Amino acid sequence: REQLEKEIQQLKQSLDLNQEKEREYNDLKQKLTEEIEEYKKKIDDLQTQHQFQENELRQEIERLKQDKTQEQQQVAESLCNELATTNTEISTLRAELDAKNAEISTLQTELDQVKSTISQLEERLHQEHEKQRQILTDLLPSDIRNQLSHDNQDFNQWLSSYRQLFESSIESSKKILQEESAAVKLENDQLHKNMNDIESQLREIEKTVQYKEETLLTELKSKDATLENIRNENEQLNDELQRLRNEIQRLQSAHDATISEVSALKLQLDDRFLVAAHPSPVDVDQSFELVKHPSSVLSSLVIDVRAEQLNELIRSGKEALEHQDSLTQQLDKHLNDLHRSGTGETSTSSADESTVLSSSDQQS
């Protein structure tokens, strides 16, 4: 009986001890639950604050991107307008040069015709002189001989009549020749005057073309300087993009390391929850150790939340960088096309003007 009472007493003591341990476990569980709720609240507050800061940062990034995009579009539109104006001026100058070339060609054709007429008149006058000399040299003796052979009149009367006719014919021929010479001289004077006027016009055209060339070269140099400044800005943007890429790579490495740590912490947390869910007298110390160190569990939860936020931030940064790269490449391509088209048209225009000037000098 005493042995039975001792066993009953031992069982009561064991039961009281187990009940005390159960109360302590419930108290610790309640305390742990309250701490977890408090940490969850803090995490929610931190998440809300971080979300607000992230939204502000995204709005700032969008504003900066829009400001930069608008500035680049304004610069590109300004360059396009200036290039269109320059092309219009070049086309106008080409049209004026073509008109002047056509006018010069017409005047040159007329000048050639006048020169040909003068040559023909000179040749005709020379032939007429030669013919008259031949007539004066050969005709008179032959006529006299013919008169003598076919005419029964007195030789002196015939000679007197012939002399009068001959002198009258000579006077008429002289008058005609003088009129033709005066007309030819007048035409020559007019042609010389026209040629001088044409030379003056050509000199004025040459001066105008030279001035336009200098003006266009100055404008092109100014545009080249502007394009160079834009390229420098693009290089600075590319450096900034490279810096952001390096920062993203660093964050990605940190993210990978964090994921590894989170995985390890999750495994530890699972093991500890299993131990806490199946308490035994042998593992009492381990349960107390889990209760004493709840920070690792909460840290893993915080790390999970921050890892997800970091992933989202990295994805947003990558998308922003890809969009910025695309805009930068499009702007570089557009500016290079503008620069090549402007330089090509100016070179062609200069070559055409040089050809026109050289042909004008040869004609003069």
Domain of 123? 90-363
Q: Is residue 75 part of a domain?
A: no
Tell me how many domains the chain contains: 1
| Per-residue pLDDT, 214 | 92
Kindly state whether residue 105 falls inside one of the protein's structural domains: yes
pLDDT value at position 320? 64
Strands (DSSP E) along the chain, which ranges?
none
Q: Is residue 27 part of a domain?
A: no
318: in domain: yes
Check residue 102 and give its pLDDT. 65
pLDDT number for residue 207: 92
Q: What is the pTM of this model?
A: 0.29
What is the model's pLDDT at position 306? 60
For residue 101, what are the CA distances in angstroms to 67, 88, 251, 257?
50, 20, 69, 78
Residue 171: predicted pLDDT: 75
Mean pLDDT of residues grouped by 10 in the chain (364 residues)?
61 70 74 73 72 74 71 66 67 65 63 64 57 49 48 50 62 80 88 90 91 90 84 81 80 78 75 62 42 46 60 68 67 65 47 42 41
Please report whether residue 69 resides in a domain: no
Residue 207 falls inside a structural domain: yes
pLDDT for the residue 211:
92
The span from the CA of 217 to the CA of 156, in Å, is: 89
Eight-state DSSP code of residue 282? T
In this prediction, residue 327 carries a pLDDT of 66
Domain membership of residue 271 (yes or no) is yes
- The pLDDT, as a whole number, for residue 169 is 59
307, HSE (Cβ side, Cα atoms, 13 Å): 17
- Specify if 120 maps to a domain: yes
Q: How far apart are CA 347 and CA 234, in angstroms?
A: 27
Give yes or no for a contact between 237 and 328, defined as CB atoms under 8 angstroms apart: yes
